Amino acid sequence: MVAALSDRASKIAAVFQAGFRDYISYPFIAAEINIRINGIWAVQPAGSEHAASKGIDPAPEHRFSLPHEPTAQEIALVTATCAFLLKDISIRRNLDYFARRAGANRNSLARAFKHVHGKGVYAWLREQRMVAAAKLLTTTDLSVQEISFNVGYEDSGNFSTSFRQLYGVSPRSYRKFMRESKI
C-alpha cells in the first residue's frame, strides 16, 4: 500500500503504523509516481496484473527493472510454490521439502524466488504470514498468541519481533491503531 501525504512530518509515523509500505508527497511529480508504481509492479507476485496489461507504459528512463528478468520456468516454479505455501500459511518445512514438492532442487527454487520476488523463500513466506496476521488482528478478536500460531509461529515473541520488523509496531499496537483509526 502507498499513501499520499500533503503534510509529511506529522503523518509519516501514522502511515507506517497503519501498514503502508511507502508514501508519496503532495504535490505529485509524475516521474516519481511512475518510478514508485513500477517498483511495486516489479515485486508483485507472479501472475498478478502488470502495468502493460493496464495500458500504462512509463518512459524508459522511469522504468524499474530487476537485475535479472525471471524465465517462464522460474515464474511457473515460484507460482506453484507460492500457491502451495498460501494454502497453509502455517506450514513449517525446510527448503528441500518445498523444492521436492515443486519438482526442483533447493538451489533452483531459491534462485527462482530471488529472480521473481527479489527475496528468498522464507523472507517471502514471513512477509505473507505478517500480511495474514495483520488481517487477523484487524478482523478478529483472537489473541496475539493465537494469531501467531495460526500463521506458523510456535513462539509469540518471535512472531511479535517479525511483525514489528515489517510494520514498525507491535501486533497489539497495530490492532489498537487500526481499530481507532477505522482504516
What is the DSSP track for 52-110?
GGGT----GGG----SSPPPHHHHHHHHHHHHHHHHTTT----HHHHHHHHTS-HHHHH
Q: Output the nine-digit C-alpha cell for 27.
A: 504535490
Q: Cβ distance 171 to 151 under 8 Å?
A: no
* The CATH number of domain 124-181, selected from 3.40.50.300, 1.10.10.60, 3.20.20.70, 2.40.10.10: 1.10.10.60
One digit per residue, pLDDT tens: the chain, 183 residues?
555 555 555 566 666 666 666 666 665 666 666 666 665 555 455 554 444 444 445 455 544 444 568 888 999 999 999 999 999 999 989 999 999 998 899 999 999 999 999 999 999 999 999 999 999 999 999 999 999 999 999 999 999 999 999 999 999 999 999 888 875
In our burial notation (b when 16+ CB lie closer than 10 A, e otherwise), range 51-66 reads: beeeeeebeeeeebee
User: For the whole model, what pTM was predicted?
Assistant: 0.62
